[in-house]
Structure 1
Amino acid sequence: MSAITRAASLPRSLLLLDPKKLLFSLSSFIAAAITLGIAFEASLPRPWWALLTVYVTAQPMAGAFRPKILYRLGGILTGATVSILVVPNLQHAPELLVICMAAWTGLCIYLAVLDRTPRAFLFQMAAFSSAVISFPYLDDPADVFTTTISRVEEMTVAIVSVSLVHGLLQPWSVTPMIHGRALGFLADAARWTRDALGRRHTPLENEHRRKLAADIAELGMMAIHLPFDQRPPGASRKLVLDLQKQLATILPLASAAANRLDTLSGLAPLEPSLARLVDDIRAWLANPAQMQHANGRELAARCRELAGQRCEPPAWRDLLIASLCVRSAEFIEAHVESGRLAQQMGSEPVRADSKRDKPQREKSFPLARDHGLAVLAGLATATAIILYCAVWILLAWPSGSATAAFAALITCSFATQDDPAPVLGRYLGATLLTFPLAAFYLFAVLPRVDGYLMLIVTLAPALLAIGYIQASPSLSARALPMFSCLIVALGFLDRFAADFATFINVGMAQVGGIIATIAVAKLFRSVNVRWTARRMLRDNWIEISQMAAPASRFRAAHWTGRAVDRLGQVAARMAVAEGDDALHAADGLADLRLGRNVIAIRSALPTLSAPVQATLRKVLEGISCLFQLRGRKGVMLPAPVSLLMHIDAAMAAICMEGQSPPTHPALLALVGMRCNLFPAALPGRFGHDA
């Protein structure tokens, strides 16, 4: 392309620039210029490290940015303290020093993977900073204290500069993202439920509903950032958590209604009144959000009215109709309430009442934490660091310390992923593509630069362009290796020195660290995806077993939130499992419905007579034994016939008692259990059927 053609196309490309991304890139560049100026003026030994810290720390969202700043500062101080305590005391035993630093790094990664909140950045930064401070000085640890102080100064200057500049320019808030995600979730949930009630289930149904579970879990992670927003947020954290609780109930309620409809359709054609109600619900779901909010309460009342018209004692078909109508009513009410909360979130900023909201700040959407997965990530990180250092020491490579430092940076950055090898491959590709740009700057541009201001002007095109890439979610993973390659290769010492041998050696250290990290990831982490998904399903089965034990304590909302979060995590693993994998046979959504049925039965126990309580306890004991066996063997074993007999006996006891209507929560929960555990069983004999 000629220069004239490029000049003609420039205005058009400028029109395509995103102002928010450009603002973020400009903010990071100003922070980088300030950081570099302070580093030069204070004669810090490695200004390039301060400059790299600016771009490692920067985040596009204000809400996500500020808590990470605080935690990273704490992580830097923690890592520096560990380096000062460990390195001088073990300087005469490098092998033991490497093992200790690897163990410390593995412990930090274990805590980071287990935490799953912005607090995880404290542990990641503690692991990374101690590795970067310690490894380059294992051969000569006498100056470790001075080196540690210098690294802390460089990183602190960078973090404070980024915090101040981004605070003044105010990057965009996290609230609009939460609002948009909530509206998107409701639209997806309405579309999926409309298709399910229309009996047009498709092979993509599982993927769609599991994506909804992942969206709910992601809202919780966003809600954590709200107290740190720099602008007055349009939503309080309590509002987002209330929205999450409502959204978490939509999935099991919608799927339960679809399940009852499938069962009813398999028995006989639907009654005209019920068929009209289902069609009206589907039509309501196709309406805009405003019409849904206006007509939802009336439609839910129709569902409850039809459920109450069943005869007493009810037949099996009556119980199915009552279950379908009640679950549909609860779904509609949850959908309407979720829409109201989302609309409130998108309106004017909510003024928090400090007296009323202060206790709510300690509450959060429950997260499912997997100690086994965290231990595996920590062990893989520690093993990788030991292997890096072993190769470096055995080969006596002069730049081996840099390789170990880069490898520690990359390992800590991607330790939370199940299989980081694909991402690391793109990381390597971005690094190799940036080397020509780094060489151009080092050998053709910088020799002609004189003074700090000229240096900043010269670096502006490259740093602004890569910063714009960093603000793009689909390309942000490539920005860090580009910054790392460019900044580390240029050096940015107090005096310019362009040495080709040093440039090649540093480049080989970076590439070697990435390749070594990919090799270790393929060796230790490639089989982790299915293993992790199965572990999560087993944890869910074990929790259901514990919750079904009549003597155990339970928290209904807490378990539902954790189960939805776990279902969202499993959704990501389902995407990489092959179609015939046994993982797809385990329906996490059916387990979620079953767990809510267990909660309903346990909540209704005190309101029932002693004979009915005895039959329900047998059902709970059977559920507990079944899921305990599933969790122990890791296989979705079929429910025994004895459990079906206990469920039928409990339903018959409630129906014959005469005081419990067909819409009694315990009776509807038993209907749900029977449909979920024994979908192919013959209709039960209750009430008039008995």
Structure 2
Amino acid sequence: MSTTVQSAPLPWSLLLFEPQKLLFSLSSFIAAAITLTIAFEFSLPRPWWALLTVYVTAQPMAGAFRPKVLYRLGGILTGALVSILVVPNLQHAPELLVLCMAAWTGVCIYLAVLDRTPRAFLFQMAAFSSAVISFPYLDDPADVFTTTISRVEEMAVAIVSVTLVHSLLQPWSARPIIHGRASAFLAHASRWTREALGQRHTRLEYEHRRMLAADVAELGMMAIHLPTTAGRRTVLGVQKQLATVLPLASAAANRLDMLSALAPLDAQLARLVEDTRAWLATPAPLQFTTGPELAMRCRALAERAEQSLSWRTLLRASLCVRMAEFIEAQVEACRLAQQLDGAPQSQEKREPTHERDRSFPLARDHGLAMLAGLATATAIMLYCAVWILLAWPSGSATAAFAALITCSFAMQDDPAPVLGRYLGATLLTFPLAAFYLFAVLPRVDGCAMLIVTLAPALLAIGYIQATPSLSARALPMFSCLIVALGFLDRFIADFATFINVGLAQVGGIIATIAVAKLFRSVSVRWTAKRMLRDNWSEIGQMASTARPFRPVHWTGKAVDRLGQIAARMAVAEGSDALHAADGLADLRIGRNVIAIRRALPTLSGPIQVSLREVLEGIAALFQARGRKGELLPPPSSLLASIDMAIATLCVRAHGASAHPALLALVGMRCNLFPTAAVPRMVCDA
């Protein structure tokens, strides 16, 4: 008896080409054809470097080309200048020359990893171009000036060609993409807050906070693609509001949890919460029009709650104020997001942009950046040592390939797994390169025929590059194919040279993997722990009254760091103290510290003494957490200081200046001591 086995049908998505990806691949190929034509027409010595630069530069989002072209060209010129200054002066001391070039490359990678903006392309191109120019020609440093000019011409032609072609054939603006990101964030924040106010705060907080914080940081990376200063300032305003939305929504949910644990909500407050949840379920344009009235209701209820102060009424007032602030921030974010979609800006709501507020702050880790730079410099020195000791004819190319690879993957926490896939894609492409070199190219005559012959391979790999799940494999495929063919002004098909170049590429990748495992194989938990310690240390410094008070940009940096931590911990295995560390609670505590320190100079002496005692306790706690890297529990003495400060403010303080400090103390107690008993004292107005 026979059985028939039917294979599962292939999805149509695998059989049909997506027009946008196909257009991207076609645009890259046209840029490559233009680059090759110019290189052969003007007799540039290494056309293959120009062709490889086209595909190294090409990226699926066309909006990224125009602003980055200046950074890339600036990096190439910087690397060329360093090569001209260093190589001739140290040509008689090859060891010192290698040391200087490796140090220069390491410094550039350090700056690129530290920067975390599109400006990092300048440092990456400076490192890559200096390595490409210097290392393959250390045997003949006298000709370095001519070589440098040729490499600059080849790479500059490629960058300008790919920028122009992609801008013309893919005229998609980054503005709709940024508007989509901002709208998605507002939708995420609305859904999260709506469900959090519905008593689902604990379960949903960690689920959503990575997505929310990551979107805030991503907007800053994309803002550089906007052509006008007004557009970039609008994105900056959206970022600031979104960074404010995150802790305010979390604080409102936290206060609601605390109130619900004491007793059922009264009818008026329950109705306000339900109305807020219903408002969050409406589209963003409707939120913009109806939000101000809802915020006024929240503030009015907060004022009525403060007329008879007790712990419960303080919690109620804190909840209402945080809800009002959240609604106002959400409304402003909706207004700015509509501007990104082309909506006109109302003159009465336009806020001036200060000189210091022209960029969104990013949290930078000097330790990780130094580690990346040290790994790059060490790798290059090892490559050059092996090349010189073995007198390998193609060994100089290994250093150039290694520089390309290390520069490409310097941003990774642990680049070794990605480099393993890079090696696999390279090995798979060697048969294709051999087929072209020994079977196809000997029958090709002229630049036009060469371009036509290369079209199938370049278009196919370009389509792979446009596919997000496969794009990491495209660069090694391009590198292997183009470098192995090694286009010169005349065709040369030498098997020994082909093998030597192939071994140089594979050797460079393997050596890079080895060095990456030695220097860069750090776990995501280790990286997250460093960031968490930095966050704790900054809160401790900000709370210390002995230090200058510099709160500018702290919230933005904390949100950015929260996104980085949550993204890494989302892929970390197991559960430990780092998973227990609540980044949003730290963010709320930091904002409470800022509120207290801002109100401190306006209050009377006895109140200042109580608040300073609280601040010093916060500073000691978070500085200890930063030093030990552990989520140390707050001491009971800090709880006593907070309760005493609340009582002092209720009895002695009156007026608007004391109000933010009082609500900040309530927030601190809720965040640091969520399970503590209700204070025995009752505040009398």
Question: When the two structures are superposed, what TM-score results if normalisation uses the length of structure 2?
Answer: 0.92
Residues 313 and 656, structure 1, Cα contact 8 Å, conserved in 2: no
Gaps of 5+ in 2: 1-8
**Matched-pair contact (CA < 8 Å) for 2:209–2:563:** no
Query: Which of 294, 297, 310 is the matching residue for 2:292?
Result: 297
Distance across 2 between alignment mates of 1:662 and 1:307: 16
The farther-off stretch of 271-280 and 486-495 is 271-280
| More off after superposition, 424-433 vs 377-386 | 424-433
Distance 2:653 2:627 in 1: 40
Question: Paired residues, what number?
Answer: 673
2:674 is equivalent to residue 674 of structure 1:
no
Is the CA contact 2:188–2:212 (under 8 Å) kept in the aligned structure 1?
Answer: yes
TM-superposed deviation, 1:70? 1.0
The corresponding residue for 1:589 is 584
Q: Deviations over 1:163-218 (max 9, x none)?
A: 33334335322111111111111111112212222222465631411221111011
CA distance in 1, matches of 2:34, 2:63: 23
2:189 maps to which residue?
A: 189
1:381-396 equivalent positions in 2, closer than 5 A: 381-396=376-391
Q: Structure 1 CA distance, aligned partners of 2:465 and 2:539?
A: 42
Q: Partner of 2:6 in structure 1?
A: none
* Local SS of the residue matching 2:422: helix
Matched with 2:372 is: 377
Task: Please list the CA deviations of residues 52-106 of structure 1 after superposition, one character each: whole Å capped at 9, or x if unmatched.
Answer: 1111122333442123211111111211222222222322332222222111111
Compared with structure 1, are the counterparts of its residues 359 and 340 closer, same or farther at alpha carbon in structure 2 (3 Å cutoff)? closer
CA drift of 1:476 comes to 2.4
Partner of 1:3: none
Q: Deviations over 1:422-465 (max 9, x none)?
A: 22122222222222222222222222222221111122222222
Structure-1 separation of matches of 2:247 and 2:488 = 60
CA contact (8 A) 1:61 1:171 kept: no
CA distance in 2, matches of 1:313, 1:256: 22
**8 Å Cα contact 1:618/1:646 also seen in 2:** yes
Cα drift, residue 286 of structure 1: 2.2
Q: Which amino acid aligns with 1:89?
A: N
1:446-525 matches, cutoff 5 A: 446-525=441-520
Equivalent residue, structure 2, for 1:288: 283
Is it true that 1:144 corresponds to 2:138 in the alignment?
Answer: no
- 2:360 is matched with 365
Structure 2 partner of 1:117:
117
SS of the counterpart of 1:578?
coil
Distance 1:111 1:596 in 2: 30
Is the counterpart of residue 209 in structure 1 residue 209 in structure 2?
Answer: yes
User: Is 1:177 equivalent to 2:177 in the alignment?
Assistant: yes
Q: State the distance in 2 between where 1:260 and 1:582 align.
A: 24
Q: 1:298-345 CA deviation, whole Å, 9 max, x = no partner? A: 222222222222254511111111111111121122112212211221
CA distance in 1 between partners of 2:85 and 2:392 (Å): 26
Q: Which amino acid aligns with 1:31?
A: A
Partner of 1:632: 627
- Distance across 1 between alignment mates of 2:438 and 2:425: 21
CA contact (8 A) 1:245 1:557 kept: no
One-letter amino acid of the structure 2 residue matched with residue 39 of structure 1: A
Runs of 4+, deviation exceeding 6 Å: 12-15, 349-352, 356-359
For the residue of structure 2 that corresponds to 1:227, the secondary structure is: coil
Of 434-443 and 363-372, more deviation after overlay is shown by 434-443
Shift of 1:414: 0.8
User: 1:77-88 alignment to 2 at 5 Å?
Assistant: 77-88=77-88
Identity of aligned residues (%): 80
Conservation of the 8 A alpha-carbon contact between 1:319 and 1:662: no
SS of the aligned residue for 2:199 comes to coil
- Deviates most, 13-22 or 117-126: 13-22
Deviation per residue, 1:88-146 (Å, 9 max, x gap): 23223322222221111111111111111111111111111111112112333332222
Correspondence 1:267 to 2:262: yes
Quote the Cα distance in structure 2 between the aligned partners of 1:70 and 1:359.
26
| Structure 1 CA distance for aligned equivalents of residues 396 and 484 of structure 2 | 16
Judge conservation of contact 2:305–2:317 (CA < 8 Å) in 1.
yes
Partner of 1:566: 561
Q: 407, 413, 417: which is aligned to 1:418?
A: 413
Match of 2:52 in 1: 52
Q: How many Å separate the matches in 2 of 1:595 and 1:213?
A: 16
Aligned to 1:537: 532
Match of 1:199 in 2: 199
Rounded to whole Å, the distance in 2 between the matches of 1:359 and 1:446 is 60
- Paired amino acid for 2:518: L
Task: Please say if 1:652 is aligned against 2:647.
Answer: yes
Superposition RMSD in Å: 2.7
For 2:545 and 2:308, the matched residues in 1 are separated by 27
Q: Which runs of 5+ in 1 are unaligned?
A: 1-8
State the AA in 2 paired with 1:325. C
Deviations 1:241-286 (A, max 9, x none): 1111110011101111111111122222222322232222222222
- Cα drift, residue 555 of structure 1: 4.8
Instruction: Report 1:605-644 matches (<5 A).
Output: 605-644=600-639
* Secondary structure at 1:200 match in 2: helix
Indicate the SS of the match to 2:413: coil
Of stretches 70-79 and 603-612 in structure 1, the one that deviates more from structure 2 is 603-612
| Preserved CA contact (<8 Å) 1:654 1:660 | no
| Corresponding letter in the other structure for 2:678 | P
Distance apart, 1:362 and its partner CA: 7.2
Provide the residue aligned with 1:397 in structure 2. Answer: 392
Give the superposition deviation at 1:289. 2.5
Q: Is the 8 Å Cα contact of residues 288 and 334 (structure 2) preserved in structure 1?
A: yes
Q: Which amino acid aligns with 1:499?
A: D
